[in-house]
């Protein structure tokens, strides 16, 4: 019998998780009150079925079965794992966990939250030990990173089980050593996002130009190696210490506006959304 995962919340992220589990042979039960959920998940699956197997060296198992359910209790029946991807509202997430644990007390719950700590998610839950963060990156069916972040309430066994499930569906689980808001990846993305908004606001570059700078520059190398390894190479034969000696002190230079944040107002939204429309508005999200 196939293993079963429940997907609570079937948007862009939940749909990506559903595709990963299905294509790796798991059965998937979905709960999402949105009447469009079925259509949206079918669209993600269509993309994923084309893309994911092409990345694998070995044949994929036969696809699991996908079912939609009218209640959380039905969706989680017989599931060993739940991936929760509802909106980023803490009280909503906590309500979902209560219903899940009422229906299936032992099920392991991973949250796609991009900001809340496991400690916050667990507060008031019937069984806090079984709730953990498993934060993916979009598109979930392609990008392997899953940030696993537990609290002191999670026994080691729960962390290990989550790690193993992620590996079983082809993810790369990274266990975060201490609880922090937004984990690792999003902290970097937030830093870049802030800087990008300043540049736009100051008229230094457009959204297209910023994207080209990333795509044609460090984006290309970051697909292969990360920050420290590329800097090690930049240090040349003298290595990392040389790099630090050469570039470390520039930390104090006024090279960014990061000491401050741009005011988030209608004008800034118009500027970004307008330039983004000009850049990519001619393509549907699917085509992109």
The stretches of 71-153 forming alpha helices (DSSP H) are: 72-75, 90-103, 118-122
Residue 133, C-beta contacts closer than 8 angstroms, at least 6 positions apart: 110, 111, 113, 116, 117, 118, 121, 147, 148, 149, 150, 183
Q: Residues 18-47 vs a copy of itself: string with x where CB under 8 A?
A: ----------------------x-------
Nearer to a copy of itself, 70 or 254 (CB): 254
Q: Which span sits near a copy of itself by CB under 8 A: 19-27, 98-106, 117-125, 202-210?
A: 202-210
> Least distance in Å: CB of 78 to a copy of itself?
30
90 contributes a contact to a copy of itself by CB under 8 A = no
Residue 106, token pair as written in the block:
């032992």
Chain centre to alpha carbon of residue 162 = 15
Q: Which span sits near a copy of itself by CB under 8 A: 18-26, 67-75, 116-124, 249-257?
A: 249-257
Residue with tokens 């002190």: 249
156 contributes a contact to a copy of itself by CB under 8 A = no
Q: Which span sits near a copy of itself by CB under 8 A: 59-67, 101-109, 123-131, 142-150?
A: 142-150
DSSP 153-213: TS-HHHHHHHHHHHHHTT-EEEE-SS--TTTTHHHHHHHHHHHHHHHHHTTS--HHHHHHH
251 contributes a contact to a copy of itself by CB under 8 A = yes
Q: Which of 98, 143, 153, 159 binds a copy of itself (CB under 8 A)?
A: 143
Q: Residue 88 in 3-state DSSP?
A: coil
276 contributes a contact to a copy of itself by CB under 8 A = yes
> Least distance in Å: CB of 274 to a copy of itself?
9
Closest CA to 151 of 114, 188, 126, 121: 121
Q: Which span sits near a copy of itself by CB under 8 A: 20-28, 91-99, 123-131, 240-248?
A: 240-248
70 contributes a contact to a copy of itself by CB under 8 A = no
Nearer to a copy of itself, 145 or 163 (CB): 145
């Amino acid at each position: 019998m196939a293993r079963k995962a429940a997907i609570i919340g079937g948007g862009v992220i939940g749909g990506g998780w559903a595709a990963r589990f299905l294509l790796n042979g798991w059965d998937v039960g979905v709960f999402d009150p949105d009447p469009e959920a079925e259509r949206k998940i079918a669209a993600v699956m269509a993309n994923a079925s084309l893309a994911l197997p092409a990345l694998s060296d070995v044949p994929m198992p036969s696809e699991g079965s996908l079912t939609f359910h009218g209640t959380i209790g039905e969706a989680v029946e017989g599931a060993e794992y739940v991936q929760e991807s509802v909106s980023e509202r803490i009280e909503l997430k906590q309500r979902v966990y209560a219903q899940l644990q009422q229906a299936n007390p032992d099920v392991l719950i991973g949250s796609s939250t991009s900001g809340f700590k496991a400690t916050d998610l667990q507060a008031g839950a019937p069984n806090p030990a079984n709730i953990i963060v498993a934060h993916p990156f979009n598109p979930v069916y392609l990008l392997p990173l899953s940030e696993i972040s537990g609290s002191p309430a999670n026994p080691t066994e729960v962390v290990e089980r989550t790690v193993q499930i992620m590996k079983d569906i082809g993810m790369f689980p990274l266990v975060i050593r201490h609880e922090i808001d937004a984990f690792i990846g999003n902290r970097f993305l937030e830093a870049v996002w802030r800087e990008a908004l300043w540049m736009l606001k100051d008229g230094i570059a457009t959204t297209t130009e910023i994207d080209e700078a990333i795509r044609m520059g460090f984006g290309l190398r970051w697909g292969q190696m990360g920050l420290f390894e590329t800097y090690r190479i930049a240090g040349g034969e003298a290595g990392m210490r040389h790099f630090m000696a050469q570039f470390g002190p520039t930390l104090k230079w006024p090279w960014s506006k990061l000491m401050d944040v741009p005011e988030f107002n209608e004008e800034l939204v118009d500027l970004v959304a307008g330039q983004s429309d000009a850049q990519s508005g001619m393509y549907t999200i699917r085509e992109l």
